[in-house]
């Protein structure tokens, strides 16, 4: 049981940096989408 838990924990920790990167970049992607939408709406008005 302990070996299985250690193996699963090791497998989950292997992908943790990728998840941390996604979590830190996602607010900037949302901000980019907002700016893009505002620019597109202003271009549509002109």
Q: What is the pLDDT of residues 6-44, one digit of tens each?
A: 888 988 899 999 999 999 999 999 999 999 999 999 999
Total count of domains within the chain: 1
Question: By residue range, what is the domain housing residue 23?
Answer: 2-45
Query: Can you give the pTM of this predicted structure?
Result: 0.64
Q: How many angstroms from the chain centroid is the CA of residue 3?
A: 31
In the block, tokens 């941390």 appear at: 20
């Amino acid at each position: 049981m302990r070996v299985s838990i250690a193996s699963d924990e090791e497998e989950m920790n292997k992908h943790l940096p990728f998840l941390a990167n996604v979590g830190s970049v996602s607010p900037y992607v949302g901000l980019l989408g907002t700016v893009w939408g505002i620019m597109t709406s202003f271009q549509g008005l002109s």
